[in-house]
Chains A and B, each alone.
Chain A
Amino acid sequence: EDQVTQSPEALRLQEGESSSLNCSYTVSGLRGLFWYRQDPGKGPEFLFTLYSAGEEKEKERLKATLTKKESFLHITAPKPEDSATYLCAVRALDSNYQLIWGAGTKLIIKP
């Protein structure tokens, strides 16, 4: 069964303290992996798409990487405004275009 697991469930960091969020997936074949950021009460905001192992994407303080079994979202020198829930989703080759979502990591950055 296709599955996406995110860890940790919650992460508290001090401003400037870099860390990584994990998204591990089990699918028959990967069509694409997507990262989103969601603020409370709002719709998720698209961040990155990764298609193949070894691929990396960067945006400001965020960098997403992909291996054959997992993806990492690295946050460098985070600021309080980076506080949000980060969601990972996978589209498998046999999923008929449907996305499989992880439960998310709630990130809190303390000033």
Chain B
Amino acid sequence: KAGVTQTPRYLIKTRGQQVTLSCSPISGHRSVSWYQQTPGQGLQFLFEYFSETQRNKGNFPGRFSGRQFSNSRSEMNVSTLELGDSALYLCASSFGSGVDEQYFGPGTRLTVT
């Protein structure tokens, strides 16, 4: 059974640019969550999508947005990049029942210069 995949794995962008990250969940999973992780910081929750609808949202500015497609694949977009957006962005998928665990992808390492 294939795991969660994320593309690209590494990305270098310049301040002011925008970026789109992609996540393909485990087959059959309907929930996709996105997290930001920086050195010394724990997992910071961005948002969760379930059946194409945003079910939860963390405390991030509106520059961070996401969406989910009918096949459960998800994308997140960051506009007007800032240096502080440099981080490991993690995607996690689950069935979304409320009692099941999340499975994480390998992450996308974003560096903003």
Contacts and interface: CB of A to CB of B under 8 A. Distances in A.
Nearest to B56: A98
Interface string A84-106: 00010001000011110111100
A43 B105 contact: yes
Interface residues on A, range: 20 to 34
A32 B101 CA distance: 9
A89 to B, nearest CB: 8
Interface stretch (A15-23, A44-52, A75-83): A44-52
B37 to A, nearest CB: 9
Contacts, number: 57
Interface of A: 31-32, 34, 36, 41-46, 49, 51, 87, 91, 96-99, 101-104
Given A96-B55, A97-B56, A101-B42, A43 B90 contact: yes
Specify the main secondary structure of chain B where it touches its partner: strand
Contact of A102 (B42, B104, B109): B42
Contact of A31 (B31, B92, B98, B103): B98
Given A41-B88, A43-B90, A46-B101, A99 B106 contact: no
Given A96-B56, A102-B42, A43 B99 contact: no
B102 A99 contact: yes
